[in-house]
Structure 1
Amino acid sequence: MLILALIYLAFISLGLPDSLLGSSWPLMHLEFAVPVDRAGIVSMIISGGTIISSLFSHRVIKRYGTAKVTVASVAMTAVALLGFSLSLRFHWLFFLAVPLGLGAGAVDAGLNEFVAEHYAAKHMNWLHCFWGVGAMLGPMLIAVFTRLGGGWRSGYFNISLVQFALVLTLLAALGKWTEMEHSKSRQHSATKEGTKKHSLLAPLKSKGAPLAMLTFFFYTSVEASVMLWGASYLVNTKFMAPETAAGWVSLFFLGLTGGRMLSGFASMKLSSETLIRIGTLLVLGGLIIMALPVPTLLATSALVLVGIGLAPIFPSMLHLTPVYFEREIAQAAMGMQMAFAYTGTTLMPPLFGRLFAVTSFRLMPYILLFCAVGMLACTTRLAALGGKNPHPAKVLTS
C-alpha cells in the first residue's frame, strides 16, 4: 500500500511540469526578449528527450529496477526545473529541457508498466486522473506565485522543491520497493523469462503490435489537438469570446480528469476492452456533433463529451500491455507505446494547426474524426486478436 501511495504522488509530480512552460511562457519570453514562438523549440527538445527515454527505458529498468529509475528520473526533473528558475539566458533552457524530457519519459514508461503488471485496472485510471490533477495544479501554482510577486521563477523554484521532496520520500521507501520487485522476479526465476535478450524493435514482432502503437498515436493526436486548438476552433467557427472559449476547454480537461476517476470505478465491473470501446464511441459521437451545424451550446458540450470519452482509453490500453505482449518484452512494449504517444503529441497538433491556418478551423472535427475512426478500427481488431496472457494483476489483491 505504501508503494502504491508513492506512485500516486509520483503521477501528480509527473503532471506538474507538463503544463508549466505553456502557462509561464507569456512572462518568460518577455523577460528573455525572444519571440513568442520560441517556446516550440523548448517543447520539442523536451518531447524528443521523452521519446528517446521511453524507447530505451526497458533496458535501463531491466538493469536497475523501476524503483531506482523512478528516483533518478524524478531527481532529473527536479534539477531541470530548478535550472529553469535560475536561467539567465534563453539558450540555457535548451540544455535544461534535455534532462526534463529524459526524466519524464523514463518515469512515465516505468511506472505505467509497473502498475499494469502489479495492480488492478482501477488504479491505472485513477493514477492518470492524478496526473491530470498535477497538470491542472501547475498553471494554478504559477498564477499564485506570480500574484505574490515572485513571478514565473518563483513558481518553477517552488515546484522543483516539491519534486526534491518527492525524491527524498522515494529514497526512504527505496528498500521496500526494491524488495517488492525482487520478490516478483523470483517468481519467474524458474522459467526462461528474463534470460533472453531482445532487440529494441522486438515488440513490433508481436502479432497486433502495430495496431497497439497506432492506437496510442491516434489517441494523442486527438487529445493534444483538442488541448491546443479547441479554444481556437470555438473562436473561429462559433465566434466565441476567447475567455469564454478558454473556459469551455477547461471543462474538456475536467471531463478528461473526472472521466478517469469514474472509469476507475467502472473498471471494477467492466473489462478494459469494454471501457476502450465505450470511450471511443463517445469520442466519435462528440466529434460528429462538432462537425454538424448545431447551436453553440451543443458544440461546446460535445467538446466536453470528447474529454469524457478519451478518459478511459489511454490508461486502459496501458493496462492491457502485459496481456497483449509477452512478459519479457512488456516493458519494451510499454516504452515503445509511450514513444508513439509522445510522437503523436509532438508532431500532429502543429501539422493540424498549419492545415487549419491555410484552410479553416471547420476542418478540425473532420480531421479528428479520421483519427478516432482509426483508433476504433485498431482497438476493435486488437480485441478480436485477443491477448497472449492472462493479466498478471488479476492474481494480486489490490
Structure 2
Amino acid sequence: MKTDRRKQIFIRCCYGYSVSGMAVLVIGAILPSVIAEAGISFLAAGGLLSVMAVGNLLASFLFPIMVPAMGRRFSITVMTAMAPLCLLGLTLLPPLPVMYGIMLVYGLVRGSVTIINNAAVNDIYDGGAAGKLNLLHCSFAVGAFLAPFLTAVLLKLGFGWRSVVYLLIFITATSAVTYGTMDYSLLNERARDAAPLKHSGKREGREFLKSFQFYCIALILFFYLGVENCINGWFVTYLQNTGVMSETYATTLVSVTWLVIMAGRLVCASLSGKMRRSSLILMNALGSGICFFLLVSTKSLPLITLALIGFGFFLAGIYPTCIADAGPLIQGSTFGMSVLTAISAMGGILTPQIVGGAADHVGIVAAIGILVVNVILVILLAAINRKRLR
C-alpha cells in the first residue's frame, strides 16, 4: 500500500514537472515573436525572464508559509491554477508593467511546483532519492522538449504563436487538477514522523546553515540556474541571430537539446547508484564546460549542433544530483529546500537580465559569451565540493 502511494505521488509529480517544463520553455520559444509584435528591446525582454525568476525566488518564501497555513493540497492547487490565467493574459500583449506582473506570478507557480516536487520525492524515497530525482527532472526535460518542438511545428503549419499558448492554457489547467486530486496522506505521515526530530533540533534544527557543503552546492546551483534560464529564455533568439540557421531549425534544435537532457538525466539516474554524487556533479560540469566553449567559439552549423547537444547532455544531471547531494543536510525540512531554491533562484534572476542588457549594446550573440563566467564557476565549485568530501 505504501509503495502504491509512493508511485501515485511520484507519477503525479512527474506529470506536474513535465507541464512545468512546457510552461517555462514556451516563453523562450515565443519570445522572438513577442519582441517583434510588442516592439520591446532585448533589455525589456530580459526583464521578463528575470521577473519570472524573481517569482521563482519569492515562491521559496511564500510557499512554505502557505503550506502550514492552508495545507499542501490547497496551496499547490491554487498556485498551479494561476498558470493558465497568466498565459491567457500574455496573449493579450498588455503594457510592459502588466506583462512584468504576469511573469512574476508565472514564476511563483514554477517555484511552487519545484519545491513541492523536490521535497515530496526527497522525503518519500530517502536513500533512493538521487535516482528518483533524476527521473523527476527527466520529466521536466520531456515537457521542455515538447514546447519548442510544438512551437516549431505549429509555426511551420502557419499557426501563430498564440495557438501554442492556447494549447498550454489547457495543459496547465490539467496540471492543477492533478495536484488537486493527489493523495497527500503519505507526505503528511512523513511530516508527523519528522516532527519530534524537528523539535529536538536534529532534523529541522537548521544545522545545514552552518555547513560549508550546503553553501557550495547552493552556489553551484546559483551559477547553473543562470545558465539554464538563459537556455530557456535566450537560446532560440541567440541561435536565430548567429545567422547560420533558420528560425525553424533554431527552435527545433533547442527542442532536441531538451530531448538530450532527458537522456542525460536517465544516464545520471543509472550512474547515481554507482558513483559518488560529488564526482557525478564534477563530471557533468566539466563536460558541459567543454561543449559550451565549443558552442560560443564556432560559426559552423554542424559544430554548433553537436556542441549544443553535448552541452545539454552534460548539463542534464547537475541540478537533480545537487538536490540529492544536499538531501542528507535538509531532509524533512521545507525551510531547507526553500533556502536552497532561493539561493539558486538568484542566479536565474540576475543572469538573463545581464545578458539582455548586454545584448542591446553588443548583440545577443556576443552577450551569450557572458555565460562563460557561470560555466567556469560551476566547474570550480564542483571541484571544491568533491575535494572537500574526499
Residues 1:372 and 2:378 aligned together: no
**Contact map agreement 2:135 2:269 (CA 8 A) in 1:** yes
Query: Percent identity, aligned pairs only?
Result: 23
Give the counterpart letter for 2:280 in structure 1. L
Shift of 1:379: 2.7
Task: Supply the distance in 2 between the matched residues of 1:125 and 1:135 (Cα, whole angstroms).
Answer: 15
> In the alignment, what sits opposite 1:336?
339
**Structure 2-normalised TM-score?**
0.79
**Structure 1-normalised TM-score?**
0.78
Shift of 1:343: 2.4
CA RMSD of superposed structures (Å): 3.8
Give the counterpart letter for 1:70 in structure 2. I
Give the counterpart letter for 1:240 in structure 2. V
Task: Supply the distance in 1 between the matched residues of 2:358 and 2:323 (Cα, whole angstroms).
Answer: 31
| Aligned CA distance change for structure 1 residues 3 and 250 (closer, same or farther; 3 Å) | closer
> In the alignment, what sits opposite 1:70?
76
| Aligned CA distance change for structure 1 residues 2 and 308 (closer, same or farther; 3 Å) | same
Residues 1:345 and 2:348 aligned together: yes
Which stretches in structure 2 are left out of the alignment for 5+ residues? 1-6
**Quick one: which of 60, 81, 102 aligns to 1:54?**
60
Task: Supply the distance in 2 between the matched residues of 1:202 and 1:156 (Cα, whole angstroms).
Answer: 44
Residues 1:321 and 2:326 aligned together: yes
Which stretches in structure 1 are left out of the alignment for 5+ residues? 388-398
Task: Supply the distance in 1 between the matched residues of 2:364 and 2:201 (Cα, whole angstroms).
Answer: 54
Task: Supply the distance in 1 between the matched residues of 2:47 and 2:82 (Cα, whole angstroms).
Answer: 20
Task: Supply the distance in 2 between the matched residues of 1:155 and 1:231 (Cα, whole angstroms).
Answer: 17
Q: Deviations over 1:121-152 (max 9, x none)?
A: 22211221211221232344455666777744
> In the alignment, what sits opposite 2:4?
none
Shift of 1:289: 4.5
**Quick one: which of 2, 5, 8 aligns to 2:11?**
5
Residues 1:118 and 2:121 aligned together: no
Mean Cα deviation higher: 242-251 or 264-273 = 242-251
| Aligned CA distance change for structure 1 residues 25 and 290 (closer, same or farther; 3 Å) | closer
Task: Supply the distance in 1 between the matched residues of 2:363 and 2:88 (Cα, whole angstroms).
Answer: 41
Give the counterpart letter for 2:274 in structure 1. K
Task: Supply the distance in 2 between the matched residues of 1:275 and 1:362 (Cα, whole angstroms).
Answer: 31
Task: Supply the distance in 2 between the matched residues of 1:5 and 1:11 (Cα, whole angstroms).
Answer: 10
Residue 191 of structure 1 aligns to a residue whose secondary structure is helix
Residue 274 of structure 2 aligns to a residue whose secondary structure is coil
Give the counterpart letter for 1:76 in structure 2. M
**Contact map agreement 1:212 1:382 (CA 8 A) in 2:** yes
Task: Supply the distance in 2 between the matched residues of 1:359 and 1:95 (Cα, whole angstroms).
Answer: 27
**Contact map agreement 2:224 2:378 (CA 8 A) in 1:** yes
**Contact map agreement 2:214 2:326 (CA 8 A) in 1:** no
Mean Cα deviation higher: 143-152 or 213-222 = 143-152
* Larger fraction in helix: 2
> In the alignment, what sits opposite 2:278?
273
| Aligned CA distance change for structure 1 residues 280 and 183 (closer, same or farther; 3 Å) | same
Residue 224 of structure 2 aligns to a residue whose secondary structure is helix
| Aligned CA distance change for structure 1 residues 111 and 62 (closer, same or farther; 3 Å) | farther
Give the counterpart letter for 1:19 in structure 2. L
| Aligned CA distance change for structure 1 residues 106 and 226 (closer, same or farther; 3 Å) | closer
**Contact map agreement 2:60 2:112 (CA 8 A) in 1:** yes
> In the alignment, what sits opposite 1:23?
29
Residues 1:185 and 2:218 aligned together: no
Shift of 1:248: 4.9
| Aligned CA distance change for structure 1 residues 142 and 296 (closer, same or farther; 3 Å) | closer
Residues 1:131 and 2:136 aligned together: no
**Contact map agreement 1:11 1:131 (CA 8 A) in 2:** yes
Task: Supply the distance in 1 between the matched residues of 2:150 and 2:203 (Cα, whole angstroms).
Answer: 45
**Quick one: which of 90, 96, 99 aligns to 1:93?**
99
Shift of 1:101: 1.8
Residues 1:155 and 2:164 aligned together: yes
Residues 1:44 and 2:50 aligned together: yes
Shift of 1:259: 1.1
| Aligned CA distance change for structure 1 residues 17 and 364 (closer, same or farther; 3 Å) | closer
**Contact map agreement 1:283 1:307 (CA 8 A) in 2:** yes
Shift of 1:348: 1.8
Larger radius of gyration: 1
**Contact map agreement 1:235 1:242 (CA 8 A) in 2:** no
| Aligned CA distance change for structure 1 residues 194 and 301 (closer, same or farther; 3 Å) | farther
Residue 189 of structure 2 aligns to a residue whose secondary structure is helix
Shift of 1:160: 1.9
> In the alignment, what sits opposite 1:168?
177
Task: Supply the distance in 2 between the matched residues of 1:79 and 1:293 (Cα, whole angstroms).
Answer: 41
Task: Supply the distance in 1 between the matched residues of 2:94 and 2:366 (Cα, whole angstroms).
Answer: 42
Q: Report how many residues are paired.
A: 377
